[in-house]
Structure 1
Amino acid sequence: MSLPDELYNAKFAEYIDSMKIMYLVDDRFKMICDDYCISKVNAEKFRQKIERDFQHQLKHENLSKELEEEILIYIMKNI
């Protein structure tokens, strides 16, 4: 069983060799690492979802503003 990809980062770079061994022989360390990896993956998913949702929100807010202007122009032309 190899070290999960999420553990290969700058914070752990100098400890990678020790981590590889500990991950294989220490169940508690493995559990902590696995929980960390799940948290990192979930955090990234939520970050991407928030980014997509924000883009959708901006798109709809802009469309609403354009339609507000169009409504006002239409009213002004027809009263």
Structure 2
Amino acid sequence: MPIPEVLNAEKFESHKELIRILYLVDGDFKNMCDDYSMSRFCIEKYKEKVAQDVGVKKEYENLFDELEKEILIYIKKNC
């Protein structure tokens, strides 16, 4: 069973072999590593969601501005 990719990070480079062994034989260490990996995944997913949310928010802001202009034009035409 391979270790999670996130454990191949530079900060763990000097402990790579020990991490691999502990991951295979120590359930507590494996759980900690799996939680670490999941937390990294969630961070990345959250970053993507925030970026998507910002884009959607911007689209609604643009729509709001356009509709506001159209309403003002409509009101001026019908006064």
Q: TM-score, normalised by structure 2?
A: 0.85
- State the 4+ residue runs in structure 1 displaced beyond 2 angstroms: none
- Aligned partners of 2:77, 2:8: CA distance in 1, in Å? 63
CA offsets per residue over residues 19-60 of structure 1, 9 Å max, x none? 111111222111100111111112222221221122101101
Q: Percent identity?
A: 44
Gap regions ≥5 residues in structure 2: none
Task: Give the match for residue 55 of structure 1.
Answer: 55
Partners of 2:65 and 2:14 in 1: how far apart? 52
Deviation at 1:74, TM superposition (A): 1.8
Aligned length: 79
Matched residue of 1:60: which SS?
helix
2:10 partner SS: coil
How large is the RMSD of aligned CA atoms in angstroms? 1.4
Quick one: which amino acid aligns to residue 72 of structure 2? Answer: L
Q: Match of 1:37?
A: 37
Give me the whole-angstrom Cα distance separating, in 2, the residues matched to 1:69 and 1:41: 42
Residue 6 of structure 1, CA deviation: 1.8
2:5 pairs with 1:5? yes
Partners of 2:70 and 2:11 in 1: how far apart? 53
Q: What CA distance in whole angstroms lies between the structure 2 residues aligned with 1:54 and 1:78?
A: 36
TM-score of the aligned structures, taking structure 1 as reference length: 0.85
Q: Which region of structure 1 is more displaced relative to structure 2, 21-30 or 9-18?
A: 9-18
Aligned to 2:16: 16
